[in-house]
Structure 1
């Protein structure tokens, strides 16, 4: 059983590394629509997910939170006024809270730079 587990772990790690090369433009379009409030944690999650020093198991949950953001139909569909992005915000802030020990000043700075480019007048 241990050998079978190790084989699954290797496949799992390969999938995580592949998933870190997704198109950021999809997330950017959603964030512009959602606004700065949800964009900040989403960009922090994104930067942490693509950071080469973030452990693979952390990347899995970060990517899941970003996938939840991208999904148009979730607990509260994104097209619903006021509450549409609230569940996405909760998912993003929860995953950031869980993995906060991996948040570095450089990750936070990269996210802030992208945030200021998306929302230059705030």
Structure 2
């Protein structure tokens, strides 16, 4: 079986577009998770291996071809959330308070 390289699927414009598209379906908690990872990856002090984990997880989130198609009601994003959660658990030491605050500010701007 050929496994896609999800980190190559990541792009900043696609990330923001996907968040806007799935914002209501993802919910605040899941969006906050994705945003924390995004800001951690954008930080120059985050190690390359951690950025690789993060970009793979975010690439999985925005890629329409994954284990459970995102279009399916209710269950479509569950695999994406599991991947994001696993990525956060893996790189948690590199997600700082600053990343969390930036994520919360972005979330506030999205939801008003």
Alignment TM-score > 0.5, same fold: yes
Distance 1:20 1:104 in 2: 22
- Return the match for 2:66 from 71, 74, 85: 74
Q: Structure with the greater relative contact order (CA < 8 A, sep ≥ 6): 1 or 2?
A: 2
* Structure 2 gaps, min length 5: 1-6
4+ long deviations beyond 4 Å: none
2:23 is paired with a residue whose SS is: helix
Distance 1:20 1:94 in 2: 17
Give the number of equivalent residue pairs.
103
What per-residue deviation string (whole Å, max 9, x for no partner) do you get for residues 58-100 of structure 1?
1011000000000112111111111111110010011101111
Larger radius of gyration: 1
The 8 Å contact of residues 23 and 31 in structure 2, kept in 1 or not, is answered as yes
Distance 1:91 1:54 in 2: 19
* Structure 1 gaps, min length 5: 1-15
